[in-house]
Structure 1
Amino acid sequence: MTRHAAPPLPPTPGREKSARPPTLPPSLTARLDGARWRRNLVGEAGAAVYRITRDGAPDLYLKHGRGQAAAALVDELARLRWLAAQMPVGMPVHFECSGNQAWLLTRAIPGRTAYEWLQHHPSRAPDIVAALAQALARLHALPAALCPFQSPLEQRLAQAHERLAAGLIDADDFDDARRGWTPQDVWDALQRLRPRTVDAVVTHGDYSLDNLLLDDELRLTGLIDVGRLGVADRYQDLAILWNCLGEFGAAAQRALFPAYGIARPDHRRLDFYLCLDECF
């Protein structure tokens, strides 16, 4: 793919707001004294996310979670440390647990999200999709046998069933393709569509447009929110990205698989992983 520098993006309103800092341990209170705080409003799932700015210093990001969100930050830290030697990520600079709380401080990654690039430069969609597909192929090419993190399908299905039984699957948040379905309908579809084999690779687990950062030449500068990273079927990532691209038109979706290197996508497997994602 021939790359041409894209024009810089304007600020995107509605993605963050000024905020007071969260509860901090003494070590971080001293370290971040005098900083300006902005709360991230996009894609929070459990942990609260803040951008921290200080005069003359690089930006930082802080994730703060309690209970299960704190446990998820422990998982994310381990995955960041493993992945950092192989793919660009936000490098951890401080981590702390106290009681049922955890704080993960990372360096900011340069660039803007793939969502922002597509929103502001829709005419560049083919180049953007190609960049995302090539970055995903690079991640999936990492040696799965050397990855210490597993995301087995049996475990994911068990978690989905637990959420179904507990009434935690939100039907109001289903994608348009499953609008009007009940959580039980989704579970039944999972049983009907379940693949017989798993094409195991190192997956991101939530390869969505807001978790992928690109520079002005549309090169990947970082992966964020890697707490679900693990060995799983490649369609776990492909399905989420394909679904996200639907907001920008069918042409963007059609461009994904050829750019990734799949001539004939497995639509049954795609539907299965889209149904699985509805459970979380």
Structure 2
Amino acid sequence: MGTTTGDPSALGSLASEDWVEVGSGESSSRVFASADGARYAKVASVDQMAELAGERDRARWAADRGVRGPQVLGWVESADGAVLTTGAVPGVPADQVRPDQVGRAWANVVAAVRELHDLPLDACPFDRGLRTMLALAQDVVARDAVHPEFLRPEQEGREGHHLLAELATELPVRLEQEASERVVCHGDLCLPNVLLDPETLEVSGFVDLGRLGVADRHADLSLLLASAQDTWPDEAQHIQDQLPSLYGSPVDADRLRFHLFLDPLTWD
């Protein structure tokens, strides 16, 4: 699939084949699956094109460095928007494993995340650092566009500007910590974005790479831990206790909390 401009519309570029709409991304782009399940297509409006192009570039960058994830198959632009087509990553989302598989799945997921975090920093052109994310949060909060359903229980019922002001008081120390422990982060590291081989429970790939970039490792670990604890509440404490040893480095609870509370304010 090549790049086109003008008519036909971006959505019309899917019309020649059988596609089924399967939902939307966090950015509200529409998501389609091919009839055979081998491909996915994200459709973005004009105002979402730059964000979708960023996901395309990140997926290509990650694939070039051996990160298991979606292969970019096509990119189509029109006056109405754009379509990104990728190959499906085999496997099942990590949040769908059986209760008796949780321990093995968690160990494999954390190991794969550590492998991602060990990629050379100087090769990554994408930023997901605190200054970038804070700017996103300031914009979302200023437009009163915070999604209440994304907030953590401790944040519910509170105004976005109050939540952001509290986090801003910690910014100097968090920036100092980030400077010494930056890694290549997935950026939206929840269990549904990690796919596992259903037999071995090994990680077969990461999906939704639109926020991949350099950041404090706790930005990823906070989302991963919260997602795992929300998904497997009976194992919540055990999962938390295991994280430092499985990851191979100490984990700072205050930094986890800071990044976990900032993330819901950055989604438009």
TM-score by length of 2: 0.85
- Across the two proteins, how many residue pairs are aligned to each other? 246
Write out per-residue CA displacement over residues 8-55 of structure 1, whole angstroms, 9 at most, x where no aligned residue. xxxxxxxxxxxxxx9222xx434x2xx2x332247543211111124x
1:273 partnered with 2:256:
no
The SS at the match of 1:162 is helix
Over the residues paired in the alignment, what is the CA RMSD in angstroms? 1.8
Distance 2:182 2:189 in 1: 16
CA distance in 2, matches of 1:42, 1:170: 15
**CA–CA separation in structure 2 for the residues paired with 1:278 and 1:44:** 11
Q: Which residue in the other structure is 2:247 paired with?
A: 260
In the TM superposition, what is the alpha-carbon distance from 1:139 to its structure 2 partner?
Answer: 0.4
CA distance in 2, matches of 1:205, 1:243: 14
Whether the 8 Å contact between 1:193 and 1:271 is mirrored in structure 2 is no
Unaligned runs of 5+ in 1: 1-21
2:29 is aligned with 1:50: no
Q: Which residue of 2 aligns with 1:204?
A: 186
Amino acid at match of 2:168: Q
Structure 2 residue aligned with 1:72: 51
The DSSP-based 3-state class of the residue aligned with 2:126 is coil
Contact 2:11 2:83 in 1 (8 A): no
Show the counterpart of 2:162: 185
Cα distance change, pair 179–202 in 1 and its aligned pair in 2 (3 A): same
Does the 8 Å contact 1:174/1:278 carry over to 2?
yes
- Asked if structure 1 preserves the Cα contact closer than 8 Å seen for 2:39 and 2:86, the reply is yes
1:219 to 182, 186, 202: 202
> Is 1:245 paired with 2:245?
no
Q: CA deviation at 1:159?
A: 1.6
Structure 2: segments with no counterpart, 5+ residues: 1-9
Once the two structures are superposed, the pairs formed by residues 164-183 of structure 1 within 5 Å of their partners are: 164-183=141-160
Once structures 1 and 2 are overlaid, which stretch shifts more, 249-258 or 224-233?
249-258
Q: Is the 8 A contact 1:170 1:183 kept in 2?
A: no
2:152 touches 2:261 (CA, 8 Å); kept in 1? no
Matched residue, 1:236 = 219
Give the Cα–Cα distance (whole angstroms) in 2 for the partners of residues 76 and 43 of structure 1.
12
Q: Which one-letter code corresponds to 1:109 in the other structure?
A: V
- Structure 1 range deviating more: 226-235 or 60-69: 60-69
Q: Which residue of the partner structure matches residue 59 of structure 1?
A: 38
Report the counterpart of residue 6 of structure 2 in structure 1. none
Q: Give 2:56's aligned amino acid.
A: L
Find the aligned partners of 1:186 and 1:223 in 2 and give their Cα distance.
30
Secondary structure of 1:205's counterpart equals: coil
State the 1:138 CA deviation: 0.4
The secondary structure found in structure 2 opposite 1:24 is helix
Query: Offset at 1:167?
Result: 0.7
Equivalent residue for 1:162?
139
Is residue 24 of structure 1 aligned with residue 12 of structure 2?
A: yes
Query: For residues 211 and 185 of structure 1, what CA distance do their matches in structure 2 show?
Result: 30
The one-letter code matched in structure 1 to 2:140 is: R
TM-score (norm 1): 0.82
Higher helix share: 2
